[in-house]
Amino acid sequence: MPASLAERLAARIAATGPITVADYMASALSDPDFGYYARADSTPLGAPGDFTTAPEISQLFGELIGAWLIDCWRQAGSPDPVNLVELGPGRGTLMADIMRVARAVPEWRAAIRLHLVEINPALRRSQAAALAGEAPVWHDTPADIPDGPIMLVANEFLDALPIRQLVFWGGKWRERTVGWSAEAGFHFTLSPGVSALSLLMPPDLRPDQGAVFEISPAVFGAVTEIGRRIARHGGAALLVDYGRTASGLGESLQAVRRHRMVPVLETPGEADLSAHVDFGAVTRVAREAGATVAGPVTQGAFLEALGIGARADRLKQKAPRDKADALDAGVRRLTGADAMGTLFKAVAITAAGIVPAGF
Ligand code: SAH
């Protein structure tokens, strides 16, 4: 076995030629031995980890989503049993907040069959600890969830799925690939011919030389799976992530390590790689799968429409000063235009007839 992912990838490229950005990203994140999300010792989340997410910032995020799920479930006719699914649950904080809210609604609580889609063994252990007593069942991919009505939530999951990059060069859309040489190490290269993926691009782009278009077949696959299940069995899904409202030009692939940006090709497997989610593509694909879509709206607008301000005020009445200040700071980070409020977006995918709150 090689000593590192860099060694494994270099050998692969030397043997079979440059790989796509998506192949690089998939290996860097989920190589079974060295991938960032597959490594048993990786600590992606929280202050000592590499990045912080909305549920880790404030309990308000999960509590509002918990109420959102109950409202959609009732509109769906209160199916019992129902698969409550989370994709990429991180440390289990969001689902723990959702389950705390569920205790106030016994018929919802009793109907829930909890399914978590997670590839990281260390995070699976954190989730088991955060959800002790809830008997979750873990899966490697959304396709493995049993059939039936679903209520699904995913926060910062889609941004971790591999993207491909097309570069407009010499009047053609060519695919960006990753090469390796002993002298230059890992470096970006371009496929020689036109990429067939360019057929999937919006027709109205006006690229200049060097323009980049990102496309994620993995996101298409995950959203198609969710949309088809909801169209067939009923239910609703809430997808929250950072990204763009409509498909368009621009490069967003980034690597983050210990809360700092690092070069994408520098340390494969040791930094988190993510890219902006193309919500234009997400809504298109979900509709094509037969589901109804609401949004995208900004995270700030979504949480405010769900009443984050009033909920924070109510909790503050019973809270000591430092806790009250922390609640206010959490609301500002989640909704502020200079923080997560505008960059992050929410989309709801539902069965026909459900009108999701917050959109
Ligand atoms: N939702 C959590 C964590 C976001 S980080 C939060 O908001 O805090 C991304 C999560 O998705 C992690 O739990 C990671 O291990 C998981 N993940 C990343 N790629 C995945 C994949 N291909 N399949 C399943 N889970 C994945």
Tens digit of pLDDT for each residue in 88-134?
Answer: 999 999 999 999 999 999 999 999 999 999 988 889 999 999 999 99
Q: Is residue 42 part of a domain?
A: no
3-state secondary structure of 42: coil
Cα angle for residues 163, 29, 19 (degrees, 5° grid): 55
Residues 105 and 122 in one domain: yes
Tell whether 69 and 143 lie within a shared domain: yes
Question: Are 296 and 222 in a shared domain?
Answer: yes
Q: What is the pLDDT of residue 47?
A: 59
Closest CA to 358 of 27, 101, 41, 68: 68
* One domain, residues 140 and 88: yes
Q: Report the nearest-CA residue for atom 22 of ligand 1.
A: 161
* CB contact at 8 A, 188 and 227: no
Report residue 233: phi and psi, to 5°: -110, -10
Atom 21 of ligand 1, residue of closest alpha carbon: 119
Answer yes or no: do 82 and 67 share one domain: yes
151/174 same-domain check: no
Atom of ligand 1 nearest to the CA of 159: 9
Helix (H, G, I), strand (E, B) or coil at 72: helix
Q: Domain total for the chain?
A: 2
Instruction: Verify that 83 and 227 share a domain, yes or no.
Output: yes
Same domain, 301 and 337: yes
* This prediction's pTM: 0.95
| Residue 261, in any domain of the structure | no
Q: Is 298 inside any structural domain?
A: yes
d(CA 196, CA 178): 18
Give the Cα separation of 245 and 253 in Å (integer): 17
Structural domain includes residue 325: yes
User: From ligand 1's centre to the CA of 45, what distance in Å?
Assistant: 10
Q: Are residues 188 and 116 in the same domain?
A: no
Same domain as 323, residue 208: no
Q: At residue 6, what is the residue type?
A: A
From the CA of 250, how far away is ligand 1's center (Å)?
Answer: 24
pLDDT given at position 274: 94
The set of protein residues with a Cβ atom below 6 angstroms from ligand 1 is 29-30, 37, 44-45, 53-56, 88-90, 94, 117-120, 123, 155-157, 160
Q: Residue type at 274?
A: S
267 lies in some domain: no
Residue 243 DSSP label: E
Distance CA 330, CA 139 (A): 31
Ligand 1 geometric centre to CA of 157 (Å): 5
Q: Are residues 170 and 28 in the same domain?
A: yes
Q: Which residue(s) pair with 84 in the sheet?
A: 114, 151
Residue nearest to atom 24 of ligand 1 (CA): 118
Q: Per residue of the chain (359 residues), give pLDDT as tens.
A: 889 999 999 999 999 999 999 999 999 999 989 998 877 565 666 656 666 899 999 999 999 999 999 999 999 999 999 999 999 999 999 999 999 999 999 999 999 999 999 988 889 999 999 999 999 999 999 999 999 999 999 999 999 999 999 999 999 999 999 999 999 999 999 998 898 888 888 888 889 999 999 999 999 999 999 999 999 999 999 999 999 999 999 999 999 888 889 999 998 998 889 999 999 999 999 999 999 999 999 999 999 999 999 999 999 998 899 999 999 999 999 999 999 999 999 999 999 999 999 99
Whole-number Å distance, alpha carbon 317 to ligand 1 midpoint, is 34
Q: Which ligand 1 atom is the nearest neighbour of the CA of 51? A: 5
Is the CB of residue 180 less than 8 Å from the CB of residue 10?
Answer: yes
Range of the domain at 136: 54-158+217-248+277-350
Atom number in ligand 1 closest to CA 54: 7
Q: Is 216 exposed, middle or buried (0-12, 13-18, 19+ CB in 10 A)?
A: buried
In-domain check, residue 49: no
Pair (331, 281) in one structural domain: yes
> In this structure, which amino acid lies at residue 10?
A
Distance from C-alpha of 255 to C-alpha of 317, rounded to nearest angstrom: 41
Nearest Cα residue to atom 19 of ligand 1? 160
Beta partners for residue 294, in sequence order: 348
Q: Is residue 253 part of a domain?
A: no
CA 88 to ligand 1 center in whole angstroms: 3
Q: Note whether residue 254 is domain-resident.
A: no
Q: Can you give the pLDDT at residue 204?
A: 87
CA distance linking residue 21 with residue 79, whole number of Å = 42
For residue 319, give the amino acid letter.
Answer: A
Tokens (6 digits) for 65 = 């989503």
Q: Indicate the top mutation candidate among 27, 37, 50 to test ligand 1's pocket, ranked by most ligand atoms within 8 A of CB.
A: 37
Pocket test for ligand 1, best of 25, 59, 157, 240 (most atoms within 8 A of CB): 157
Q: Do strands 112-117 and 82-87 pair parallel, antiparallel, or not at all (unpaired)?
A: parallel
| Greatest Cα-to-Cα distance within the chain, rounded to the nearest angstrom | 65
User: Which residue's CA lies nearest to atom 6 of ligand 1?
Assistant: 90
Euclidean distance between the first and final Cα of the chain, in Å? 50
232: CATH: 3.40.50.150
The residue to mutate among 117, 118, 272, having the most atoms of ligand 1 within 8 angstroms of its beta carbon, is: 118
Can you give the pLDDT at residue 258? 80
For the purposes of burial, counting CB atoms within 10 Å of the CB of 103, is it exposed (0-12), middle (13-18) or buried (19 or more)?
A: exposed
